[in-house]
Chain A
Amino acid sequence: AQTVTQSQPEMSVQEAETVTLSCTYDTSESNYYLFWYKQPPSRQMILVIRQEAYKQQNATENRFSVNFQKAAKSFSLKISDSQLGDTAMYFCAFIFQGGSEKLVFGKGTKLTVNP
């Protein structure tokens, strides 16, 4: 079974600084996708970034980038120039292609950006 682990229940960062959220996963599959979702206090789930396992290049979306280490099964999210609006829960998620189509989430990291 696929599992996703986020080892940092809470983190905080000063506005304009950089923070990295960790995620590890466990799978025997080779073809899969990884996602980071953001959940602000409004409760809405928002996709931040996705990574295809077959791509070696790390995904980037504006201030958000990932460090994807396939051999280590690690998928960390780096937020640069943190903004107050980045305050939210962040969830790492996994799905493998051609399988059961289950979308599995980690327990989340609560990020607080301080002014």
Chain B
Amino acid sequence: NAGVTQTPKFRILKIGQSMTLQCTQDMNHNYMYWYRQDPGMGLKLIYYSVGAGITDKGEVPNGYNVSRSTTEDFPLRLELAAPSQTSVYFCASRTTVNTEAFFGQGTRLTVV
């Protein structure tokens, strides 16, 4: 039972480069989320999706894009990476509102 899988686990980007953080879940969950966690801070919501084809902005969406073409996948795209995007990124998924959110292991991204 894989749960929520994020790739890569670590990545170093140069300023201005682009990359996609992958997130896949095998639990047939409708809801998926992307968060970033800065050092010593809580989780800030970047984007979320309530189902395939539907996405919406969270509190810190600038500099990011997402897509949800299938139930399983919810990739996060960084365009023109900036040092301010250095963070740990978490993907999560859940079913109905009264169940817990399952998290991936996180991706540590450093932009230099």
Contacts and interface: CB of A to CB of B under 8 A. Distances in A.
Interface of A: 6, 33, 35, 43-45, 47, 50, 52, 91, 93, 95-98, 100-108, 110
Interface in B81-103: 88, 90, 92, 94, 97-98, 100-101, 103
B80 interface: no
A97 B97 contact: yes
B101 to A, nearest CB: 6
Interface stretch (B11-19, B39-47, B68-76): B39-47
Contact of B48 (A52, A91, A102, A107): A102
Contact of B42 (A97, A98, A102, A107): A107
Contacts of B103: 44-45
Contact of B100 (A35, A91, A102, A104): A35
Contacts of B61: none
B45 A33 contact: no
A107 B48 CA distance: 19
B56 interface: yes
A108 B31 contact: no
A105 B101 CA distance: 12
Interface residues of B, number: 24
27 contacts: A33-B97, A35-B101, A43-B106, A44-B103, A45-B103, A47-B100, A47-B101, A50-B98, A91-B42, A95-B97, A100-B56, A101-B31, A101-B50, A102-B45, A102-B48, A103-B33, A103-B45, A103-B48, A103-B92, A104-B45, A105-B43, A105-B44, A105-B45, A107-B41, A108-B41, A108-B42, A110-B40
A105 B44 CA distance: 7
Closest 6 interchain pairs by CB?
A45-B103, A107-B42, A47-B100, A105-B43, A97-B97, A105-B42
